[in-house]
Amino acid sequence: MQRRFEYFIGICQNENRRNIFYGLKNMKRGVIKVFLFFLCFVNCTGHKNNDVVDGVIQFDPTREYPLIDLNLSDIADVEFVQLKDRDSAFIFQPYFNHNTYIGDSCIIVGNYTPSDFSSFGIYRFDRQGNFLNRISGYGRGPGEFASLAKMSVESDSSILLFSLFESKIMKVNSKGEILGSWFLPRGHSEVQLLGNSVIIYDRLSIYFNSKGQLVERGAPLKVFDLATSKVSDLLTKECLNNAIQDNAKTNGHSDPEFITNYPNLIKTKDGLYLASIQFDTVYFINRNLEVKPKISIDKTGIPNEYYTLLPVIDMKDYILLRDVYGGEHRYDKGKRNYYIFLKNENRIYQIRNDYIYNNEIEYSSIFFMDKLAFRFLYLSLNCNIFSIYFTYEDIKDCYNEIPNSIKPLFDTISEDDNPILAIVKFRESIKN
């Protein structure tokens, strides 16, 4: 066989096309079959069936991607923890924020709901759900916040607290002792800690105010160095898509639901994703503060381009993705699609999820049906974990779907108790 290939290569190197044809004509039939198989292989593995070009994932929201059936148990392990001692640590509707951190020895929950200032603060539990201590509180004194919009956790002893209205960052340890505090520059909607830097995203970098005046607040993506307090631009306004630049209208940029509906900076073990309807590209920010395109989105079939693809979980072998509509078009499609990008194939698949849109099924019930229905509300401060809270009312709605093996835990909760926390830890690979 080796000699046959050497003969074929020698023929191809002949500059005389007639000789090439003659040589091919006289090759043995087995070699021709090998050659045809090779051509077929190249064709099957080329750009036609490859969703990556020059290292960037190519995504078209209007395309019908091949379907894949995945259950939650195929890709993740689930643990349940009852958060105790409600008298000392009242967790108020925690599923409205993404401020939950699951450590090896503790669970940290940010309770920021301004309607209940008495429970305002950061609560630490051990891994069995026993209350440990409370960090910070509502107020304007040392170690207190008048508002608290975000938390970023590197470890149990390194917690970054962010106040949107005060433009203030405070770093504390597990005891609540202040390790440092900083004031951010003007223009920020979301922040994430990355090493010794704070990545700042500004959804209102360009918009029209209530008077119809165009307001430009600078670059949409910046970095704040905690060591030097220096601010640098990472992306300029030229990276914003045409729809945002041409139609920075009130209905798109001052709508509170548009501003707070989904996260823009998503943590991975290697850095952060930036995903926003303001861009035609999902960017990745690595730990060297290099910003590189990760996903290119063809928005030509999307009304006013108010759309993005959210990379929710990024593991060794796959990326879980879901689509997000924004502005006045956020409900146009009627349903949400879920996708998985398989890294070894460089291909995108749509996860079969017809069951999600059965109005008779509660969303909490779907979780206990072993279905892979991931909401961005489940995102934790960990890069590989969903945190899902089940209150007493949630449990009543989905009780019939809870497996008998774990029902004893859910039978113990009353309406006066803190919720039960489901810790969904994603594996690096999909179970075969």
What is the number of other CB atoms lying within 10 angstroms of the CB of residue 32? Answer: 14
Length of the chain: 432
Return d(Cα 169, Cα 180) in angstroms, integer.
Answer: 8
> Residue 9 falls within a domain, yes or no?
yes
DSSP three-state, residue 129: coil
> Residue 26 falls within a domain, yes or no?
yes
DSSP three-state, residue 299: coil
Residue 334 in this model has a pLDDT that exceeds 60? no
Calculate mean pLDDT across residues 263-291: 92
What is the number of other CB atoms lying within 10 angstroms of the CB of residue 405? Answer: 7
Calculate mean pLDDT across residues 356-363: 56
> Residue 266 falls within a domain, yes or no?
no
The domain tally of the chain equals: 1
Choose between 285 and 168: higher pLDDT: 285
Q: What is the pLDDT of residue 93?
A: 57
CA 428 → CA 67, 219, 300, 316, 340, distances in Å?
Answer: 21, 35, 34, 5, 13
Query: Which residues form the domain of 34?
Result: 2-44
> Residue 396 falls within a domain, yes or no?
no
DSSP state, 418? P
Q: What is the pLDDT of residue 1?
A: 39
Calculate mean pLDDT across residues 369-382: 82
Is-contact 370 73, C-beta < 8 A? yes
Identify the band that residue 156 occupies on the pLDDT scale cut at 50, 70 and 90: confident
Q: What are 42-90's pLDDT values in tens digits?
A: 444 444 568 999 999 999 999 999 999 999 999 999 999 999 887 777 7
Residue 378: HSE in the Cβ half-sphere, 13 Å Cα cutoff: 25
> Residue 35 falls within a domain, yes or no?
yes
Q: What is the pLDDT of residue 97?
A: 53
Question: Environment class of residue 357 by beta-carbon count within 10 Å: exposed (0-12), middle (13-18) or buried (19+)?
Answer: exposed
> Residue 192 falls within a domain, yes or no?
no
> Residue 12 falls within a domain, yes or no?
yes
CA 348 → CA 65, 293, 318, 352, 373, distances in Å?
Answer: 7, 17, 10, 13, 17
Calculate mean pLDDT across residues 281-291: 95
Q: What is the pLDDT of residue 337?
A: 85
Question: Environment class of residue 338 by beta-carbon count within 10 Å: exposed (0-12), middle (13-18) or buried (19+)?
Answer: buried
Letter string b/e over residues 211-243, b meaning 16 or more CB atoms within 10 A of that residue's CB: eeeeeeeebbbbbbebeeeebeebbebebbbeb
Q: In 3D, which of 66, 64, 62 has the Cα closest to residue 300?
A: 62
Q: What are 238-269's pLDDT values in tens digits?
A: 787 765 555 554 444 444 334 446 788 999 99
Q: What are 393-413's pLDDT values in tens digits?
A: 888 888 888 999 999 999 988
What DSSP letter does each residue of 49-89 carry, written as one string? G--EETTEEEE-TTS-PPEE--BGGGTEEEEEEE---TTT-
Q: What is the pLDDT of residue 113?
A: 58
Q: In 3D, which of 153, 57, 30, 148 has the Cα closest to residue 100?
A: 153
DSSP three-state, residue 48: helix
> Residue 6 falls within a domain, yes or no?
yes
Q: What are 159-209's pLDDT values in tens digits?
A: 888 876 677 888 888 888 888 888 887 777 788 889 889 999 988 787 777
